[in-house]
Each structure stands twice: as structure tokens, then as C-alpha cells.
Amino acid sequence: MVEIKTPAGEQDLALWYAEAGVADLRPAAAVPAPGQALVRMLWSGLSRGTERLVFNGLVPASEYERMRAPLQEGAFPFPVKYGYCAVGVVEAAETPDLVGRNVFCLHPHQTRFAAPLAMLTPLPAHLPPRRAVLAANMETALNALWDSGAGPGDRVVVVGAGLVGLLVAYLAAGLPGADVTVVDLDASRRAIAESFGARFATPADFGAPGDADVVFHASASAPGLGVALGAAGLEARVVELSWYGEGEVAAPLGGAFHSRRLTLVSSQVGHVAPTRRPRWSYARRLGKALELLADPRLEALITQDVSFEDLPEALPRLLAPGAKGLATVVKYASPRADDSQSAEI
């Protein structure tokens, strides 16, 4: 283990969700044990959907164990140290060739942290660390595409142009001959959808033609689910990506739902899709998600930066219902001037 000392006067800190609507920064211990590495955080990603539920204390008691982040501390509902989109540089490790490498890890928001070596995935060459925080979201989108069974030439509709919805559209548009339409109330998402090779429509001008081969629902709303079901063609599959926490949603299962023999399935990243599970490990899926983030067009999905020190005060605004923008990334102070855009060193 290469010894790294914390600079004089520097205190390692972590974000904690303290009570409903309140977060604070607390001292953190970053002392690697055998088999672990010491990582200085460069960027972390704020998962708006999941962390909004955590921040507001809306994680259902039935989901406390399934919702635990891999290196979470505390317990639901509060206080809890939560998060799972971390990118940092390895400062100390038993494996010398890992020191100085930029890595992705499922870790909460924290200035420096210790993590098992097996949980650190080095970033591919030419992938900027700032964009790499989208890896967990890209995993979700990739898993959803597998769950859907979408293939070349399919008509694909994505309802909900949030971060995950747009990543699904990006992947689907890469299928040869696929015809992809993104549906959302916010017309400002049009340019991003079109840059990925998809068409864009608002619910008002979409018209739910009912001929899609595959539909993804990612709006986390009952009206959005209605649009998704209406867009599906005969015996099509509708993949539900929204997670509602303790909330309930009215599922419009009347109308043509039964006569069209639609299939409504859930997709959740906690398990590798059944069609890939015999061959794909979590590590292989994460590695592929990082590779897929190399496309510079995906930079447009990051619409807001906030400093780690300002995060507790900014969270009520960032996690408010209807908050503007797509992905928010958290920037950490670093002695390296090129961490914002450098690829692997």
C-alpha cells in the first residue's frame, strides 16, 4: 500500500441525508483496509429520481434492503449516507498500477473514500471523468434495452425525456434501421433527442398511433404511462422504467390494453436482464456502459454542475419536483487542474 497523507487542515467529508428535506456534510474516515484502495473523488452524479425519494424520506419500508447502495452508511429513512455515481483518482492501493488511475465506483458523495479493489472500474481511455458519472444511468438504459427485446428495424417509442429516457433513445437509435420517437412535455429536449438520431414529439402532437413494436415508459407519471400504452402496437411490449417509491400510479388498463394483448414489464438495474444473465456479470455490464459513454454527444446530458461544499444547500432546488435540466454533477476540489476533462492518466 502506497501511503498517502491527508494534507494539513484538510478534513474528509461526506454528504448525509439527515431528515426529510435536510442534508449536511459530516466528517468521514477514509482509511483503506487490506484489499481496498484510497480514492480521491473528482466527480459524483446526483441521481434525481432515486435521491429525491431518499431526500424526502419516501423510500418504502418494504424496499429498505433492496434500496441500499453498495457502500451506504446509516439506514433508511434517516440519517443515511447515500449515492452510487462516483468517479475519482486512486491515491493509494496494494496494486501499484492502479495508483493514479481514474476509476468509477458505486459510492456516496464524499471527498475521499476507501473501497474494495473489486468495486473499482478503471475508466476507458478517452472517457472524460465528468461524463463517466453517467455510468450507472447508462447501465439502467442498457439493461432496459435488453429487457425490451428491441431489434433492428423496430419502431421504438420512449415516453419521458429525462436522463434515462434519453439514454434509452440513444441506444435504440443505434439499432440498424430503428425508427425511434421520444415523447415529452418539455420541448427543450428536442435538440438532444434529434442529435441522437430520434424524432421528438410532445404528447399533444404525438397522437399515439399504436403501431410501436417496443415502448419504454420513463416519465414517472400516470399520463405518461397512458401515452406509452396507447403507443404500443398489437402484442407489443411496454417496459416500465419509472420507480414511484411510496407513491401510487393509476394504470390505464382499459381501452385497447387487453384487445391488443399488450405486455407490461418492469425493468430494474439491480439484476442483469434474464436474456443476458447466463453470460453477463455486473462487472461486464458496467464496463460496457462506460465504453458506451465515449460518444461526445452524450455531454449534452449534463446540464448542471454544483460544488460539493454547496450541495446541502442546493439539494432542495436540485431535487424539487419539476426541477429544470437533466443530469447534475458534483465537482470536488482537486489539486489536478485537468481533472474536469482529462481521460485516463
So what's the pLDDT on residue 336?
52
Assess if residue 5 is contained within a domain.
no
Residue with cell 447534475: 328
Eight-state DSSP code of residue 64: T
281 CB burial (10 A radius; 0-12, 13-18, 19+): exposed
Pair 141, 252 in one domain: yes
- Joined grid coordinates for residue 65: 434492503
Single pTM value for the model? 0.92
Pair 195, 231 in one domain: yes
For 251-298, the pLDDT digits (tens) are: 889 888 999 999 999 999 999 999 999 999 999 999 999 999 999 999
Pair 79, 93 in one domain: yes
Pair 254, 168 in one domain: yes
- Given 251, 266, 281, the domain boundary residue is 266
For 69-86, the pLDDT digits (tens) are: 999 999 999 999 999 999
Q: Which residue has the higher pLDDT, 126 or 334?
A: 126
Assess if residue 4 is contained within a domain.
no
pLDDT > 70 in the chain, percent: 94
Pair 128, 144 in one domain: no
Assess if residue 275 is contained within a domain.
no
Pair 121, 184 in one domain: no
Pair 115, 149 in one domain: no
Assess if residue 285 is contained within a domain.
no
Rounded mean pLDDT, 32-58: 96
Q: Where do the DSSP E strands lie in 93-130?
A: 102-105, 112-116, 121-122
Q: Is the pLDDT of residue 344 over 90?
A: no
Assess if residue 8 is contained within a domain.
no
Number of structural domains found in the chain: 2
Mean pLDDT over each residue of the chain, to the nearest integer: 93
Pair 141, 117 in one domain: no
Rounded mean pLDDT, 193-216: 93
Pair 165, 220 in one domain: yes
Domain span including residue 89: 13-134+295-331
Cβ atoms of residues 192 and 298 within 8 Å: no
- Given 266, 283, 318, the domain boundary residue is 266
Rounded to whole angstroms, the Cα distance separating 89 from 112 reads: 9
Determine the residue type at 42.
L
Q: How confident is the model at residue 341 (pLDDT cuts 50, 70, 90)?
A: very low
- Given 266, 281, 312, the domain boundary residue is 266
Pair 95, 55 in one domain: yes
Q: Is the pLDDT of residue 124 over 80?
A: yes
pLDDT > 90 in the chain, percent: 87
Assess if residue 304 is contained within a domain.
yes
CATH code of the domain covering residue 302 = 3.90.180.10
CATH code of the domain covering residue 204 = 3.40.50.720
Assess if residue 283 is contained within a domain.
no
Q: Is the pLDDT of residue 53 over 60?
A: yes
Pair 119, 152 in one domain: no
Q: Is the pLDDT of residue 318 over 70?
A: yes
For 224-238, the pLDDT digits (tens) are: 999 999 999 999 999
- 274 Rama class: left (phi>0) / alpha (psi -120 to 50) / beta: alpha
Pair 199, 113 in one domain: no
With H, G, I as helix, E, B as strand and everything else as coil, classify residue 242: coil
Assess if residue 217 is contained within a domain.
yes
